[in-house]
Structure 1
Amino acid sequence: MMKSALAGVAIALAPFAVAAQVTLTSETSSVGSSPHYVDTTLAAVLDSAGVATVQVTEGATLTNSVQAVAEGRLDMASAPMILPFLLSRGIGPYSGVGVEEGAKLASGIRVLFFHAGSHQIFGHYNSAPIEDIRNLEGLRIWNGPPRGAALTSGRAMVQLLSGLKDGEAYEGIQTPWPDTVATITGGGVDAWTSPDGIPSGRQIQLAAAGGITLYDVPSDLLASELGQQIVAAPGHAPFSMPVEEYRAAYAGNDITIVTDDDTFDSYVTAFAEITSDSMDEQLAFDIVTAFLEAQDRFEQGSPIGPNLALTFGDINGVSQGACGAVQVKMHPGAIRAYEAAGHTVSDCLRS
């Protein structure tokens, strides 16, 4: 296990905790995102429990983080489930890695726990020249970071809504996560689509600069052949929440929620907290044990906490976006921690 620290933000929120036995490195996305909340809360939990000190690098591109974990240059990261899938085939952002090396790297990735805190939304400022989200031709739309799972999901959202492909009938704008809010509030785009938790700190930041409208996927489009393909795509899973609960999450902000029925429907980006198979089994056990014991802290530490689909119970694999097109295994130490806590883990997640 690596002892050196990557340049990043050291999380040390419990100054009176027992001295940690090991220092771990982690990377996460930008402030306001659900992976950021999960990773920084996990770092604080592990520090408080005396399990480890975790140094977290914020604003990372998770495509790179997944490869860094697989190569042993990073201890942990939040990973959209589609990324190990793409790495295992040496395609997409990992085409430069190659099929053989990609499969080798992906085979060493192990899961500590799962979450699915981000669902795809489409939004724009109320002053934007948009009357129908099915007609987006000629617009500039922020659809993700320069590469990776979020960009794939964002492009899929625009295609599902309007039938348009990036670069052909609309101009897709991509920036690193830390620049997202500034790019949108600066007037550089007409609309945006992004994976967000509920409530989303990013959307609240955007609304502070002017009223915004957020949309789900209309029912007929979600039920279409393309819609069902996107929902079932590697790394995705269905998302649905009563619209009144969804609106209540944004109460007090200048945010309008538009749906065609009484639910907000979309697709989630399935995530896992990953490490490598080289992590010590006892350390993985201690990490996951501390995670499971901190359920209240995760769920009450932020408004998004209860909606993160964090795995604090039985794990069947399918509900977490695994055991299908995405084939990942849990770390043996993690499985032992779940079983010690009285939970079951599907055989499809065992090495």
Structure 2
Amino acid sequence: MKKIKITALAGVFAILAGAASSANAEERIAYKSAKSGTSYYQMGVELANAVKAGTDGAAILTVEESQGSVQNVMEAAARPGNYVFTAPPGLVSSAAAGTGPFAKRPNPRFADIRALFPIPSLTMHFVVAGGSDAKNLADLQGKTILLGKGSFGATEGEKYLDLFGLKDKVTVADAELGNAADALKNGQIEGFVTAGSFPAPNVIEAAAGGSIALLSLDDDQVEKTGRSRQVIPAGTYAGVDVDTVTTSLPVFAFATTAMSEDTAYLLTKTFWEEKAELSGESRWWKAVDPELLGEGEVKLHPGALRYYEEAGVSVPAALK
């Protein structure tokens, strides 16, 4: 009789332990973002906090440092289901097609990548020292500018100089972009080019160190770049009191079909429900709205699509 009672109690404890374990279960998701110290890494931290708060801890995002979008996409071929990463949609399309950076490293799993939601776009900034009359790209002529190396902004900036006949009319400084604000303040350069969400930390730093101006593109120039038209509102940076017309490259959060529909639904739903809170924390989230789905090139994850349909969000046919 004694033995039977002990066995019965052991069974009860096992059931209670199982219930407690189930109640404390968390959906853990890896979030591959960017280099630490960048605005996109900071966005990842903010998003992780928002997801934890919005799901009462039912979903936990672990932010991982990355060396860039190509690495993020490459890892999608090997990572398990709860892997989320950021990248421009065009890069994901290149991966699926086996072109561009992926021409020598194709993988059939790239075709399983699916979009969740947009995050702040990579926005081009053409920054020059204030006190000048520079207003558009042509005013870069004769100036020493810093492009940096290896980044999207550096590559895009070089492309624009060539596209608009400025390549042989400016001097490009040989220095790292991280030194741009100090170099501008000290007069070593007269301007720099950077890409990031706005307000961009390095542009904020430059504006704090002295007056700056942002150069605008006209509509014809925007069209020639093949990028999306973007307006940086007046007042985004200290001393810049007019709207700046520039270009941007959309960036999305992606998963793969290995992620469950319910997890993708929860993550997408929580992002949009917490976006107002995120926007109050950092201004770069204010530029994100459902209309940015139109900038996507990659089909939505079924879980994300379920959320958009329930929320009555118009989704381009190409993304369904």
Describe the shift of the 1:269–1:163 C-alpha distance in structure 2 as closer, same or farther (beyond 3 A). Answer: same
Q: Against the structure 1 CA distance between its residues 143 and 59, is the aligned structure 2 distance closer, same or farther, given a 3 Å change threshold?
A: farther
For residue 348 of structure 1, give the secondary structure of its aligned residue in structure 2: helix
Residue type at the aligned position of 1:43: A
AA paired with 1:55? T
Structure 1 stretches of at least 4 aligned residues deviating more than 6 Å after TM superposition: 127-132
Aligned to 1:27: 33
Aligned-residue offset at 1:348: 1.3
CA contact (8 A) 2:147 2:193 kept: yes
| Larger Rg computed on CA atoms | 2
Q: 1:291 aligns with which of 267, 271, 284?
A: 271
Instruction: Return the alpha-carbon distance in structure 1 between the equivalents of residues 169 and 160 of structure 2.
Output: 15
Tell me by how many angstroms 1:27 deviates.
Answer: 1.9
CA drift of 1:168 comes to 9.6
User: Which residue does the alignment assign to 1:80?
Assistant: 88
Pairing partner for 1:119 from 123, 128, 137: 123
Quote the residue 2:160 is aligned against.
Answer: 157
Aligned partner letter, 1:292: W
Aligned match of 2:61? 54
Structure 2 counterpart of 1:63, one-letter code = V
Aligned residue number for residue 15 of structure 1:
none
1:164 and 1:71 map into 2 onto residues whose CA distance is 43
Distance in 1 (CA, whole Å) between partners of 2:70 and 2:175 is 15
1:346 counterpart = 2:316: yes
RMSD: 3.4
More helix by percentage:
2
Q: CA deviation at 1:183?
A: 4.6
Instruction: Read off the aligned partner of 2:317 and give its amino acid letter.
Output: D
2:50 — aligned with what? 45
**Contact kept in structure 2, 1:86 and 1:94, CA below 8 Å:** yes
Aligned-partner SS, 2:27: coil
Unmatched tracts of structure 2, length 5 or more: 1-23
Shift in CA distance, 266/68, structure 1 to aligned 2, threshold 3 Å: same
Instruction: Pick which of 265-274 and 105-114 moved more.
Output: 105-114
Amino acid at match of 1:21: E
Matched, 1:276 2:256: yes
Please show how residues 164-203 of structure 1 align to structure 2 within 5 Å: 164-165=166-167, 170-171=171-172, 175=176, 180-186=177-183, 189-203=189-203
Does the residue aligned with 2:115 lie in a helix, a strand or coil?
Answer: strand
1:41 maps to amino acid: E
Letter in 1 for 2:90: I
Deviation at 1:113, TM superposition (A): 0.5
Could you tell me the TM-score, scaled by structure 1's length? 0.69
In structure 2, the residue corresponding to 1:330 is in which secondary structure?
coil
Q: Tell me the distance in 1 between the aligned counterparts of 2:181 and 2:292.
A: 39
Mapped contact 1:38–1:298 kept (Cα < 8 A): no
Judging changes above 3 Å, is the alpha-carbon distance between structure 1 residues 191 and 288 closer, same or farther for their aligned structure 2 residues?
same
Give, in whole Å, the separation in 2 of the partners of 1:129 and 1:343. 44
Partners of 1:57 and 1:38 in 2: how far apart?
12
Note if 1:228 corresponds to 2:215.
no
Quote the residue 2:146 is aligned against: 142
- The TM-score, its normalising length taken from structure 2, stands at 0.75
CA-CA distance at 1:329 after TM superposition: 0.9
Secondary structure of the structure 2 residue equivalent to 1:272:
strand
Q: Deviations over 1:58-85 (max 9, x none)?
A: 4632232222234437822221223223
* Contact 1:79-1:272 within 8 A present in 2 as well: yes
Q: CA deviation at 1:332?
A: 0.6
Provide Cα deviations, 1:256-282, integer angstroms capped at 9, x if missing partner: 467xxxx52121211111112211221
Partner of 1:249: 236
Check conservation: 1:23, 1:52, Cα contact below 8 A: yes
| Alignment check: 8 A CA contact 1:181 1:205 kept | no
Q: Secondary structure at the match of 1:249?
A: coil
Give the share of equivalent positions with the same residue, in percent: 21
- Number of the residue aligned with 1:11: none
The 3-state SS of whatever aligns with 1:192 is strand
Are the counterparts in 1 of residues 117 and 253 from structure 2 also a CA contact under 8 Å? Answer: yes
Distance 1:63 1:144 in 2: 19
Structure 2 Cα separation of the partners of residues 168 and 265 of structure 1: 22
Name the amino acid aligned to 1:340: E
Q: State the alpha-carbon separation in 1 of the partners of residues 99 and 181 from structure 2.
A: 30
